[in-house]
């Protein structure tokens, strides 16, 4: 349960139209991503609108997801905190709640190198589960260098993973590989953009939104089976949807919830305010790309099946 690889589903947080939390939809969404082939389930991530949840809501989300998964897959939780004291407290209660890994976001900047290293060291020392360092300069305001991550990994044996959100991800991947070899397993985020190249450069998986799990699982399975062209064909089919979801976190969250509601995985596409809403024209465009992706994947599957019969 501590080997994180493949396609790890980052759950959104479903809300009713009045913005109260919809726990029934959260349970259904958890089952949905597992049925779609997720290797692990991630709650309280950036795409989960975690910064808009109360302490009580965060606790209930984690308890709901852990209970619903019921040992079928690893449950990882994001950890976002502005102070080291708060981060250590959160790490302890999250692991007590049953999560088997922590994806830890750096504290909001500006923070100097010593402060960042101490932050991660104290969090890692507080728990025994694997720690995933989440590098996300788009949200935090600064990136983590390979040298800083290496320092943290050298101090803390349970810092075992890195999630790379920056685009492109490969410069940091190559720098980490040069400094640490295979010491840290690397995964890519930001909706799965760059997944094929990341796999080619040694990534062990990706962490897309909950709406993209099925196709991403196909990409991963085909790539790992040596069918790189097949993996590229599936990735090419879903890429327009990944791009159409937008280049910022808020548009990504709204788009993912729209697609999940349309698929019946959650009841409502509500996001907590304030946000700049995606207009109807953009949603129609997203729906069009989603439909074309489904048709392309169906045609590709039929072609593969016919080829195998002959």
How large is the average pLDDT for residues 156-175? 96
309 — pLDDT class (breaks 50, 70, 90): confident
Two tokens, residue 284:
């129609």
pLDDT band at 213 (very low <50, low <70, confident <90, very high): very high
Reference 238, options 283, 292, 175; nearest CA is: 292
Residue 100 and residue 77: Cα distance in Å, rounded? 8
User: Rounded to an integer, what distance in angstroms lies between the CA atom of residue 271 and that of residue 110?
Assistant: 28
Identify the architecture of domain 6-309 in CATH: Alpha-Beta Barrel (3.20)
Percent of the chain scoring above 90 in pLDDT: 94
At 25, the pLDDT band (50, 70, 90 cuts) reads very high
Instruction: Give per-residue burial for 36-72: e unless 16+ CB within 10 Å, then b.
Output: bbbbbbbbbbbbbbbeebeeebbeebbebbbebbeee
The CA distance from 288 to 298, in Å, is: 15
d(CA 13, CA 113): 33
pLDDT above 90 for 307? no
pLDDT band at 19 (very low <50, low <70, confident <90, very high): very high
The CA–CA distances, whole Å, from 120 to 17, 74, 79, 107, 133 equal 37, 22, 11, 10, 8
Q: What is the C-alpha to C-alpha distance for residues 33 and 101, in angstroms, rounded to an integer?
A: 18
Asked whether the beta carbons of 116 and 100 are under 8 A apart, the reply is: no
Under DSSP, the state recorded for 160 is E
Q: In a 10 Å sphere around its CB, with 0-12 CB exposed, 13-18 middle and 19+ buried, how is residue 230 labelled?
A: middle
Distance (Å) of CA 89 to CA 83, 98, 122, 127, 272: 10, 15, 10, 10, 26
Bridge partners of residue 101, in order along the sequence: 76
Residue 285 scores a pLDDT above 90? yes
Quote the pTM value. 0.96
pLDDT tens for 218-230 read 999 999 999 999 9
């Amino acid at each position: 349960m501590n080997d994180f690889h493949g396609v790890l589903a980052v759950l959104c947080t479903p809300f009713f139209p009045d913005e109260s939390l919809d726990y029934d939809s959260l349970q259904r969404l958890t089952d949905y991503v597992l049925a779609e082939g997720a290797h692990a389930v991630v709650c309280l991530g950036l795409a989960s609108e975690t910064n808009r949840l109360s302490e009580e809501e965060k606790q209930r989300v984690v308890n709901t997801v852990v209970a619903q998964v019921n040992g079928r897959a690893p449950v990882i939780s994001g950890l976002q905190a502005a102070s080291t004291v708060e981060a250590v407290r959160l790490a302890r209660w999250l692991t007590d709640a049953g999560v088997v890994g922590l994806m830890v976001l750096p504290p909001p900047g500006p923070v100097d190198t010593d402060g960042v290293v101490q932050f991660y060291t104290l969090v890692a020392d507080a728990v025994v589960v694997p720690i995933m360092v989440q590098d996300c300069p788009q949200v935090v305001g600064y990136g983590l260098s390979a040298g800083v991550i290496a320092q943290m990994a050298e101090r803390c044996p349970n810092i075992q993973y890195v999630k790379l959100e920056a685009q492109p991800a490969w410069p940091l991947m190559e720098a980490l590989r040069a400094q640490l070899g295979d010491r840290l397993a690397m995964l890519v985020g930001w909706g799965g953009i760059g997944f094929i190249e990341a796999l080619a450069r040694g990534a062990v998986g990706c962490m897309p939104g909950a709406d993209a799990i099925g196709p991403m699982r196909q990409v991963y399975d085909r790539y790992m089976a040596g069918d790189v062209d097949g993996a590229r064909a599936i990735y090419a089919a879903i890429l327009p949807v990944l791009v159409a979801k937008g280049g910022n976190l808020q548009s990504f969250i709204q788009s993912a919830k729209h697609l999940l509601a349309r698929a019946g995985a959650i009841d409502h596409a509500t996001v907590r305010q304030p946000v700049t809403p995606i207009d109807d024209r953009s949603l129609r465009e997203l729906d069009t790309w989603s439909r074309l992706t489904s048709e392309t994947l169906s045609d590709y599957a039929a072609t593969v099946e016919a080829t195998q019969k002959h």
